[in-house]
Amino acid sequence: MTPRSEHIVACLDCDLLQRIPELPSGTAARCRRCGHRIAFHKPDSLNRTLALAIAAAIVLVIANVSPLMELSISGRRVDTTIFGGALEMWHRGQQITAALVVFCTVIAPAVYIGIMTAVLLAARRVPAPGWIGPLLRWSLWHQPWAMVEVMMLGVLVALIKISELATVIPGIGMFAAGALVALIAAMTIGFDPREVWLRVPWPRKETPPAGKRPPVLPDTPTGIGLGFVSCESCGLSSRPVDIDDPGQCPRCGAERALRRRNAVQRTWAFLVAALICYIPANLLPVMTTTTLVSSEEDTIMSGVVLFYRTGSWHLALIVLIASVVIPLAKIASLAYLLVTVQRRSTEGLLERLRLYRLVEFVGRWSMLDVFVVTFTVALIQIQPLVSIKPGAGVLFFSAVVVLTMIAAETFDPRLIWDAGNEQRGSYD
């Protein structure tokens, strides 16, 4: 019996070619070599995710129209919504950061939830309409940029910080945002994109090159060795006519490549750019606080020191880890991965892949300080008593976060394994 082509998969993290067995309900298949979850079977995954997506859509609207928090100081009350926070940032001269905040807290979650709802509704028809493929790709692309949970932590830090000056009351928007964090997490965990992809009909016109039998590598059959190219978008592994120029995925239409194009050079470029921005991000002030008697500029580090001096050592630690340790560790880790890949090192393959996964996972949390600044600025506008202006440091800091996130996405973890594969045998 020849297995259906959908059931042969080259692992997206290490390129090991393997067959996915029929999965009993509630189980997952992990890559034999690197442990990457290549498939899982959740009963009723599509309907559950649809229910969660609809609930998330409602909560998203509530979270965006209700006040996130309210502040009262000497009889005056101010409140802010998520969008209002970004708008204040915009008016105070940090337009790019304001746009980034709106993208990560409003647009990316809305696109992810909205398109996901449409895709899941359409996937109930059999066969599913062809247009859901590109839409699903589009929605999954937005998911890593939806940072509601990081924003929540940022809002909490800002709240604790401001509560020393005035009474702060969390608003309905805050609770809605909390519910949104849980709903998006449940959606992401329970959703099995394979189930949607298996319903999308596609022309099976790809035929492997005739007369050119690929070599058999019994110990490590890899995609690259046996002429399979994996689509990073829908996970389909197939054998294109020309492996060096595989063109578009026959199922979802995404551009494919054996390895992410020029991954090493491009990751270096983003990394160097991030490192350059890291210097002004730390030297320039992220906030300027003006009171009746004085004006004080705060850099990221002086903000951490201030938290520590005023007894909030836990906040100092959170901001220190998110804003100083994580960006630096990310840059160093990616540089280490690039150097070892360029040296074709075969040492510690699994450890290096784990390091890469960690870098990908923690990257978004560095946005924390950007959100802290945004919501502090939005609330403390009770002039002439005190006013806070965002500084240019916050722009460079946002650039560091975005550039390192893109650098991690540009790197191809399969490159780590390629050197190890080559030692074992030839491909031609």
**Dihedral sign for Cα atoms in the order 232, 234, 235, 238:** negative
Using rule CB under 5 A, residue 200 touches Zn ion: no
Q: Do 350 and 358 touch, CB atoms closer than 8 A? A: no
How far apart are CB 249 and Zn ion at their closest, in Å?
3
CB nearer to Zn ion: give 140 or 277.
140
CB nearer to Zn ion: give 140 or 168.
140
- CA 169 – CA 50 distance, rounded (Å): 33
Choosing from 7, 30, 36, 259, the residue that interacts with Zn ion (CB under 5 A) is 36
CB nearer to Zn ion: give 5 or 288.
5
| Structure-token pair, residue 421 | 């594969």
Using rule CB under 5 A, residue 14 touches Zn ion: yes
How far apart are CB 256 and Zn ion at their closest, in Å?
7
Q: How many positions of this chain bind Zn ion (CB under 5 A)?
A: 16
CB atoms near residue 164 (< 10 Å): 10
Instruction: Name which of residues 268 to 287 contact Zn ion (CB under 5 A).
Output: none
One-letter amino acid identity for 193?
P
Binding mask 228-267 for Zn ion (x = CB under 5 A): ---x-xx-x------------x-xx-x-------------
The 3-state DSSP class for residue 181 equals helix
- CA 165 – CA 271 distance, rounded (Å): 39
Q: Report how far apart, in Å, the C-alpha atoms of 173 and of each of 51, 53, 155, 278, 378 are.
A: 21, 18, 11, 33, 15
Using rule CB under 5 A, residue 412 touches Zn ion: no
CB nearer to Zn ion: give 17 or 359.
17
Choosing from 8, 17, 29, 34, the residue that interacts with Zn ion (CB under 5 A) is 34
Binding mask 141-170 for Zn ion (x = CB under 5 A): ------------------------------
Sheet containing 167-170: which strands, arranged edge to edge? 76-80, 69-73, 167-170
Q: Do 318 and 150 touch, CB atoms closer than 8 A? A: no
How far apart are CB 299 and Zn ion at their closest, in Å?
42
- CA 391 – CA 373 distance, rounded (Å): 9
CB atoms near residue 321 (< 10 Å): 16
How far apart are CB 199 and Zn ion at their closest, in Å?
14
**Taking the CA atoms of the chain, what radius of gyration do you get in angstroms?**
24
How far apart are CB 252 and Zn ion at their closest, in Å?
3
Choosing from 8, 29, 31, 106, the residue that interacts with Zn ion (CB under 5 A) is 31
**Dihedral sign for Cα atoms in the order 298, 301, 303, 309:** negative
CB nearer to Zn ion: give 223 or 327.
223
Which residues of this chain interact with Zn ion, rule CB under 5 A?
11, 13-14, 16, 31, 33-34, 36, 231, 233-234, 236, 249, 251-252, 254
